[in-house]
Amino acid sequence: MRFIPIAAAGAAGVLGLAACAYNEDLGRSQFLLVNDAALAQSAQQAWAQTLATSKVSNDRAAQARVQRVAARLVEAAGLGDRSWEYVVFEDPQANAFVLPGGKIGVNTGMLSVVENDDQLAAVIGHELAHSVANHAGERYSQTAATQLALGIGQSALGGRVGAETAKQISAFGGVGAQLGVLLPFSRRHELEADRLGVDFMARAGYRPAEAVKLWRNMQAASTGGRPPQLLSTHPSEATRIAELERYIAGMPARPR
Ligand SMILES: [Zn+2]
């Protein structure tokens, strides 16, 4: 039973860091248990692992294209104050991902789905949006809080579970955080990233309507085979296309 006070103290410590931070880009508050630095450190490990275990494309033109489009979006979105790294991976899966700390990966399979730079900008804008919106931190915090709540509930039942809880809490800074940064985003996060992503596109002078075409292409690419990973963890294509069309229709017209 002596583990219970340790678990409880640990829990209080972790929860003491909890904050509801207002995110201006999203226009809503977020529940955050983890700061950017801690998350970026875990993400750095995950990124190093990805670079070590995946094949980086040696297609220089593809790497340069992603760099160019991403840099233009980053500049337009006012995100040039932090460092970003963009890498094209040799992988037929039509997918892209972002990790906290400014790491963006785009698969060659995704590059074969996009028809133009505007659509590539839609992909990268979406990933940038996840980052700006701190979705990974929010996802991690929600998961950690749930695990913590479950652990505390169990620890009241016996000392052995209490020890387990203590271990779980100490793992939050390491493996837990790594899992946190790699968890798929929720439906709400996906739709938020879609909207913020097209804002970035528009600011950079890309055509937001191409985002809708991109998702239609993804939808087409997914019929007949396994759905692309990006879609399987994402809201239904029909939902996101409809939401995106509605949002773009409401956007102020921009001189081009
Ligand atoms: Zn996403």
- Indicate if 237 belongs to the active site: no
Tokens, residue 49? 């692992």
Name the catalytic one among 90, 127, 138, 210.
127
Q: In the prediction, which pLDDT does 73 show? A: 96
CA distance 184 to 142: 13
Give residue 180's region: left, alpha or beta (phi > 0; psi -120 to 50): alpha
* Successive 10-residue mean pLDDT values, the chain, 256 residues: 31 45 74 71 84 94 98 93 93 87 92 97 93 79 67 50 46 44 70 93 97 90 55 65 92 71
Q: Rounded to the nearest 10 degrees, how much is the dihedral formed by the CA atoms of 53, 168, 97, 85?
A: -70
Ligand 1 centroid, distance to 148 Cα (angstroms):
26
Tokens, residue 232? 């399987």
Q: Which domains does the chain have, with CATH numbers?
A: 25-136+179-250 (3.30.2010.10)
Tokens, residue 160? 């052995």
Q: Single out the residue of 109, 104, 115, 113 nearest to residue 66, CA to CA.
A: 104
Q: In the prediction, which pLDDT does 122 show? A: 97
CA distance 165 to 152: 7
Tens digit of each residue's pLDDT (9 = 90 or more) over 108-129? 999 999 999 999 999 999 999 9
Ligand 1 centroid, distance to 182 Cα (angstroms):
12
Q: In the prediction, which pLDDT does 224 show? A: 53
Ligand 1 centroid, distance to 126 Cα (angstroms):
6
